[in-house]
Amino acid sequence: MALKQSAALEALTQALKRLPGVGPKSAQRFAYYLLQHDREGAGMLAHALLEATERVRHCVRCNTFTESQLCETCASSRRDPTMLCVVETPSDQLMVEQTLTYSGLYFVLMGRLSPLDGVGPTEIHLERLIERACDGVVREVILATNFTQEGEATAHYIGELLKARGLRVTRLARGVPVGSELEYVDAGTIAHALRDRRAVDD
């Protein structure tokens, strides 16, 4: 005699399971929590979901999420239009912005090459990236995809395409993270840090 829950509760649990990394137990916990302790939050979430799916689209220039044609960064006159930084996701873009050391523009792939998952050049908008990078103003493209296998492969692929078009292509430096002890850094990272060692300035 399996206990039948309310159909609306069941539907809510199923819908919450579509969130990435959320399994049946978590989905049920979320559903119970919202219904028992935060019905106001549930209403707000429903409203936010509808608003966001209706309003949020992609910047026609850099492909990040925005509510207008052009995102604020692309529309800003204070950014250096000769530099283009290629990142996988808007979160990565936020991380680069937080360094407060980059004033160029961006292109957001919204993914990485991953043939096994059916993500090819089209899915990460490479044609648009090439068109964007070859606008005659961009002089340097900084590849800031992740340092994972897929991120590296994506950077390599994009790098080849852009170099063939005469652009200067760079990659974020690999090396020892700030604050870390050599003893706990992997050998591959140390090898890269050795190879890319730099002269100590006065």
20 binds its own copies per the rule CB under 8 A: yes
In the complex, the smallest distance separating the C-beta of residue 96 from its own copies, rounded to whole angstroms, is 9
Task: Give the range of 37-45, 131-139, 153-161, 177-185 binding its own copies by CB under 8 A.
Answer: 37-45
Q: Which is nearer to its own copies, 8 or 191 (CB)?
A: 8
70 binds its own copies per the rule CB under 8 A: no
75 binds its own copies per the rule CB under 8 A: no
Beta-carbon contacts of 121 under 8 Å, excluding residues fewer than 6 positions away, are 113, 127, 157
Out of 1, 164, 199, 200, which residue is the one contacting its own copies (CB under 8 A)?
A: 1
Q: What is the spatial distance between Cα 176 and Cα 156, in angstroms, rounded to a whole number?
A: 22
Binding mask 86-105 for its own copies (x = CB under 8 A): ---xxx-xx--xx-x--x--
Q: Which is nearer to its own copies, 3 or 187 (CB)?
A: 3
Q: For the CA atoms of 152, 153, 154, 159, what is the dihedral angle to 10 degrees?
A: 90
DSSP line for 35-74? HHH-HHHHHHHHHHHHHHHHH-EE-TTT--EESSSS-HHH
Q: Which is nearer to its own copies, 21 or 166 (CB)?
A: 21
Binding mask 106-125 for its own copies (x = CB under 8 A): ----xx--------------
In the complex, the smallest distance separating the C-beta of residue 73 from its own copies, rounded to whole angstroms, is 6
Label each residue of 123-160 as H, E or C: CCCHHHHHHHHCCCCCCEEEECCCCCHHHHHHHHHHHH
In the complex, the smallest distance separating the C-beta of residue 74 from its own copies, rounded to whole angstroms, is 11
Smallest CA-to-CA distance from 106 within 81, 125, 123, 126 is with 81
Smallest CA-to-CA distance from 93 within 148, 20, 149, 145 is with 145
Residues in touch with its own copies (CB under 8 A): 1-9, 11-12, 14-16, 18-21, 26, 28-36, 38-39, 41-56, 65-67, 72-73, 89-91, 93-94, 97-98, 100, 103, 110-111
